[in-house]
Structure 1
Amino acid sequence: MNPHFSSNTGSAIVSNLVSVIVANREYLSEVDGAIGDGDHGINMAKGFSRCGKSLEGRQLPLAEALDELTLALMEGIGGSMGPLYGSLFIGMADAVRGRDDIDAAGFARLLRGGLTSLQDITDAGVGDKCLMDTLIPAVEAFEQAHAQHATFSEALGKMKSAASQGRDSTRDLIAKIGRASRLGERSLGALDAGAVSCCLILTNLAESAQAHLQE
């Protein structure tokens, strides 16, 4: 059988996402403070922590664990990030719902499902200085690697690299959407907080998938 991980690791995978966001609470708010309100880390940690509490003692399949994360973010985060990340995670959940095992093709569907769901509520794209600068290149890198018959592990590595490069690219962009867009050229030189949190999420997701891989 192709390398895959069991959907039954869902609670562990989502709990890892909770941990990485909570651990980077201050850093994310610091990044956001350069050109935003400075509360991105606070809000993200609040929503993710809420999910962490709901997962305690429960062994959920990945889709259901992502459902819990979606609900926590939609209800627990103010502003635009709750709906944005909520849409991402519900799209991911729907793409793997009912599946026992997730191989590279399934993971590609999960990533594309999340992106498509997010694109249903926003026209933002690469170059707008936002989380899409991280997400779109990462999804495309995994899909391209998979199409070129890379191993699951190799494709995850390509995804992580693309996410990091996308995050870093926002430093040289002028914000075109959100509160930072009011700053115009003064937004140059700072990372976008959404791109940073998205990179943390995708990197952790890749590392969790890697850790649970089995032949």
Structure 2
Amino acid sequence: MKTQDIVDALFAVQAAILANESQIESLDRAIGDGDHFINIRRGLEVLAAMRDELEPLPPAAAFNRIGTKLLSTIGGASGPLISSLFLAMGKSLAAQDTPDRRQFAAAFMAGVEAIKVRGKADLGEKTMLDVLIPAARQLVQFAEQELPLAEACALLSAEAEHNMLATRDMIASKGRASFLGERALGHVDPGSKTCEVAITAVCQSLLRSPS
């Protein structure tokens, strides 16, 4: 994976998030703080403006720059969590100029672990981790199996959607939704929806890549 792939994926995620604006905002109004989509959109706009700055960098440096920028850009609880993902990925890839799939998968796993530590959360707590943790595990597995990219992407996208929808039946133990108790049942977690959209967008972007 080259930095150009990372930049292209960021633009794909931005377009996909904007296309799902009404649904993400509706979910956040129901059980969140109401500013999730605004913060995510702001962060993506800032990253889109960094294209010329990011493209010449090796992947590790690009991830570090992204994480640092998001930490100062995204407000609320999302900023520190999402920035920790990219910073941990940058650290994991520090010695790799052109990471292969196994190295990228390991870096993504490290990023998700960083979110777990930062947010003091895990599976089953109605958060973005209910999508990210299974995705990271799958990515590592698929890389070890050398699964063809198209097949891996199809499985990742399907699993992300399944796990996002599964948050409807969870009682939140983190964030504002935790104060709602059983009233949060029946509502998909907005962070998990955002992550599902992002994973699918990244997969589609990689499939379009000529590399």
TM-score tier after normalising by the smaller chain length: 0.7 to 0.9
Answering whether residue 11 of structure 2 is matched by residue 6 of structure 1, we say: no
Answering whether residue 44 of structure 2 is matched by residue 48 of structure 1, we say: yes
**Structure 1 residue 124: Cα displacement:** 0.9
Q: Specify whether residues 94 and 206 from structure 1 end up closer, same or farther in structure 2 by C-alpha distance, changes over 3 A only.
A: farther
Equivalents in 1 of 2:127, 2:28: separation in Å?
Answer: 11
Equivalents in 2 of 1:92, 1:34: separation in Å?
Answer: 32
Q: What does the per-residue CA deviation read over 1:25-63, in whole Å, with 9 as the maximum and x for residues that have no partner?
A: 333211111112222111110111112122257524433
Aligned to 1:199: 196
2:67 equivalent among 54, 70, 82: 70
Percent identity over paired residues? 31
Q: Specify whether residues 15 and 63 from structure 1 end up closer, same or farther in structure 2 by C-alpha distance, changes over 3 A only.
A: farther
Gaps of 5+ in 2: none
TM-score of the aligned structures, taking structure 1 as reference length: 0.86
Q: What does the per-residue CA deviation read over 1:102-148, in whole Å, with 9 as the maximum and x for residues that have no partner?
A: 33212311221211222231221111000010001111122223334
Superposition misfits of 4+ residues, deviation over 6 angstroms: none
Equivalents in 2 of 1:126, 1:69: separation in Å?
Answer: 26
Letter of the structure 1 residue corresponding to residue 92 of structure 2: A
- Mapping of residues 177-192 of structure 1, within 5 Å: 177-192=174-189
Partners of 1:27 and 1:41 within 8 A in 2: no
Partners of 2:10 and 2:44 within 8 A in 1: no
Equivalents in 1 of 2:17, 2:110: separation in Å?
Answer: 22
Q: Secondary structure at the match of 2:99?
A: strand
**Structure 1 residue 177: Cα displacement:** 0.9
Equivalents in 2 of 1:144, 1:99: separation in Å?
Answer: 20
Equivalents in 2 of 1:213, 1:131: separation in Å?
Answer: 30
- Mapping of residues 1-215 of structure 1, within 5 Å: 5-56=1-52, 59-60=55-56, 61-212=58-209, 214=211
Q: Secondary structure at the match of 2:49?
A: helix
Letter of the structure 2 residue corresponding to residue 151 of structure 1: P
Q: How many residues align?
A: 210
The range that moved more, 68-77 or 31-40, is 68-77
TM-score of the aligned structures, taking structure 2 as reference length: 0.87
The range that moved more, 76-85 or 51-60, is 51-60
Gaps of 5+ in 1: none
Letter of the structure 2 residue corresponding to residue 28 of structure 1: I
